[in-house]
C-alpha cells in the first residue's frame, strides 16, 4: 500500500483518551479519517491537539490495515501540513449532523460543500453534465456558445432583464432558442450548456432567475419524433451514468433513482386535459397546464407506472411563435417532458418555412422587424429542424428527490438573493 497525499478541511474532531480522530473533507464524497495515536505518532498527535474543525491541511498517509469507520477510509498519517486555521468558529455544521435551514444552506453553500450531503449533490450535478457532453459527442453534436447579451428575447419582453449596452438597451438572454435555430443553416446537430436569465418575479420551489439549460437543436429531421428520441436517450444516458458512477453519493443522499425505460410514454395534450377533467379539475384547452394540474397529472401518471412522460401536441394558442403547426392550425409540434409532475424540458419541431414563420410572428402580435436577423437565416436553405431546452436544476432536483430547485445550484439567484 502506497503513501497518499490528501488535501482538505477538518469537518470533525474527536478525542478518545490518547487517540484523536480527524475527518478531512476532500474532493471525494466521503471524508478521509485520520487516526492519530499518541503512542504511535507522538509528534502528529501533538499537532492534532492544536488543530480544530475548519482547518485547511494536507496529509500524507497510508490506508489503515483495519478499517473501523463507517464514514470514510481510515488513514495512518506520516506527515501533516497545516495551511490555514479558522479565525472564528464556523457559522454552520460542516460535518452534516445538524440539518440547516434552506436559507442557511444557500447563504453558506461554499462552506457547506465540505459536508458529504451537500458535496454529493454537486458531484452528481457534475456527472450529469459530463454524461450529457459524453452523449452529445458520441452522437455527432457539436458544442456551441451563443450570446448572452441580446437585443430581443425569444418570447417577448415580459421576462427579460434589461441592461445598458453602451447607448442602447439590451437584455440578458432568457434562452438560446433563436441563435441555435439560426445555426441550423450550417450545422446539423448542435448543443449548448447555457445560463437562462429570467426576470420572473414569482417565488416558487421550481423557478430561479438564473438557471442552467442543456439546449439542443438538430436539423434534417423527419418529424418531431426524432427530437423526442434524442431527449429520451439523453435522459436515459444521464441517469445510467449517474447510477454507474455515483453509487456512494446516492447512498449518502439516501436516494434510489429508477432506471427509465425507453420509449417514454407520449401523452397528447388533449388526452392530458381529458384525464385531468375526469378527475374534476378545471383545465383550459388552449393554455399551458397550471402548476397544480401538472402535479396532479404526475400523480395520475405515477399510478400508471410512468415517472417520465412527454406531453405532446400543445395548442398553438399556448406556444411560442416558432413551433410548427399541424395542418389543422390548432395544435403544434411542441412538447414538454415531465418528471414526476414537474416540467423539466420543452421542445418541438420548429417552423422552417420562411413565409409561414413570418405569418406566425405576426399572428402572435410580434413585430417581424425586431426579428429580421433571425428571419434572414430562413432564406437560404433552412432544413426541417427541432430541439429542446432541458433544465439542469430541475432534472437534478427530480433525480435526487430534492424539494426545492434552490438545492440544485451552488449560488442562488432568485427574487431576494443577489449575494453571495
Ligand atoms: P415553467 O412553465 O415551468 O416556468 P417554461 O416553460 O417557462 O417553464 P422553458 O422556456 O420551456 O421554461 O425552458 C426550458 C426548461 O428550462 C424548462 O422546462 C425548465 O426545466 C428550465 N427552466 C426554465 N425556466 C426556469 C427557471 N426560471 N428556473 C429553473 N428552471 C427553468
Ligand atoms: Mg416550457
**pLDDT per residue over 351-361, tens digit each?**
999 999 999 99
What letter does residue 184 receive in the DSSP assignment?
G
Q: Tell me, in angstroms, the distance from the centre of ligand 2 to residue 336's CA.
A: 6
The ligand whose atoms approach the alpha carbon of 212 most closely is 1
Burial class (CB in 10 A: 0-12, 13-18, 19+), 167: exposed
How high does pLDDT run on average in the chain?
96
Out of 207, 352, 385, 406, pick the active-site residue. 207
The confidence score (pLDDT) of residue 2 equals: 87
Other C-beta atoms lying within 10 Å of the C-beta of residue 300:
16
Q: Is residue 124 a contact partner of residue 140, using CB atoms and an 8 Å limit?
A: no
Q: Is residue 365 a contact partner of residue 185, using CB atoms and an 8 Å limit?
A: no
* 200 in catalytic set: yes
Cα separation, 160 vs 307, whole angstroms? 32
* 207 in catalytic set: yes
Instruction: Report the length, in residues, of the chain.
Output: 420
- The closest of 376, 379, 382, 375 to 321, measured between CA atoms, is 375
Residue 388, C-alpha cell as written in the block: 429542446
* 60 in catalytic set: no
Indicate the pTM of the whole model: 0.97
Q: Is residue 392 a contact partner of residue 214, using CB atoms and an 8 Å limit?
A: yes
**pLDDT per residue over 259-281, tens digit each?**
999 999 999 999 999 999 999 99
Percent of the chain with pLDDT over 90: 95
**pLDDT per residue over 82-117, tens digit each?**
999 999 999 999 998 888 899 999 999 999 999 999
For the sheet containing 149-150, what is the strand order?
A: 149-150, 168-172, 162-165
Q: Tell me, in angstroms, the distance from the centre of ligand 2 to residue 113's CA.
A: 31
Q: Tell me, in angstroms, the distance from the centre of ligand 1 to residue 402's CA.
A: 17
Amino acid at each position: 500500500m502506497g503513501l497518499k497525499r490528501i488535501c482538505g478541511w477538518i469537518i470533525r474532531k474527536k478525542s478518545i483518551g490518547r487517540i484523536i480522530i480527524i475527518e478531512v473533507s476532500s474532493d471525494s464524497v466521503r471524508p478521509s479519517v485520520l487516526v492519530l495515536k499518541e503512542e504511535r505518532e507522538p509528534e502528529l498527535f501533538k499537532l492534532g491537539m492544536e488543530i480544530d474543525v475548519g482547518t485547511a491541511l494536507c496529509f500524507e498517509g497510508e490506508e489503515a490495515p483495519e478499517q473501523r469507520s463507517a464514514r470514510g477510509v481510515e488513514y495512518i498519517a506520516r506527515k501533516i501540513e497545516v495551511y490555514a486555521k479558522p479565525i472564528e468558529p464556523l457559522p454552520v455544521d460542516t460535518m452534516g449532523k445538524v440539518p440547516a435551514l434552506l436559507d442557511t444552506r444557500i447563504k453558506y453553500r461554499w462552506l457547506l460543500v465540505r459536508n458529504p450531503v451537500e458535496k454529493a449533490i454537486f458531484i452528481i450535478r457534475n456527472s450529469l453534465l459530463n454524461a450529457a457532453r459524453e452523449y452529445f459527442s458520441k452522437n455527432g453534436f457539436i458544442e456551441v456558445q451563443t450570446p448572452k447579451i441580446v437585443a430581443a428575447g425569444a418570447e417577448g419582453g415580459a421576462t427579460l432583464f434589461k441592461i445598458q449596452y453602451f447607448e442602447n438597451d439590451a437584455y440578458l438572454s432568457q434562452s438560446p432558442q433563436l441563435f441555435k435555430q439560426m445555426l441550423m443553416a450550417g450545422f446539423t446537430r448542435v448543443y449548448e450548456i447555457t445560463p437562462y436569465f429570467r426576470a420572473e418575479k414569482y417565488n416558487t420551489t421550481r423557478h430561479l432567475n438564473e438557471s442552467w439549460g442543456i439546449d439542443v437543436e438538430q436539423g434534417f429531421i423527419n418529424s418531431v419524433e426524432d427530437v423526442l428520441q434524442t431527449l429520451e436517450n439523453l435522459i436515459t444516458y444521464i441517469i445510467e451514468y449517474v447510477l454507474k458512477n455515483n453509487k456512494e453519493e446516492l447512498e449518502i443522499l439516501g436516494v434510489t433513482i429508477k432506471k427509465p425505460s425507453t420509449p417514454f410514454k407520449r401523452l397528447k395534450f388533449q388526452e392530458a386535459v381529458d384525464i385531468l377533467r375526469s378527475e374534476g379539475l378545471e383545465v383550459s384547452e388552449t393554455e399551458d397546464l397550471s402548476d397544480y394540474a401538472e402535479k396532479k397529472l404526475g400523480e395520475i401518471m405515477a399510478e400508471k407506472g410512468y415517472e417520465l412522460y412527454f406531453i405532446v401536441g400543445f395548442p398553438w394558442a399556448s406556444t411560442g411563435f416558432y413551433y410548427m403547426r399541424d395542418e389543422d392550425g390548432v395544435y403544434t409540434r411542441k412538447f414538454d417532458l415531465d418528471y414526476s409532475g414537474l416540467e423539466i424540458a420543452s421542445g418541438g419541431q420548429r417552423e422552417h418555412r420562411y413565409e409561414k414563420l413570418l405569418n406566425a410572428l405576426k399572428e402572435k402580435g410580434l413585430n417581424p422587424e425586431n426579428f429580421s436577423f433571425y428571419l434572414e437565416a430562413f432564406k437560404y436553405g433552412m432544413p426541417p429542424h427541432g430541439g429542446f431546452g432541458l433544465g439542469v436544476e430541475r432534472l437534478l432536483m427530480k433525480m435526487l428527490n430534492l424539494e426545492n430547485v434552490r438545492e440544485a445550484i451552488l449560488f442562488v439567484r432568485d427574487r431576494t438573493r443577489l449575494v453571495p
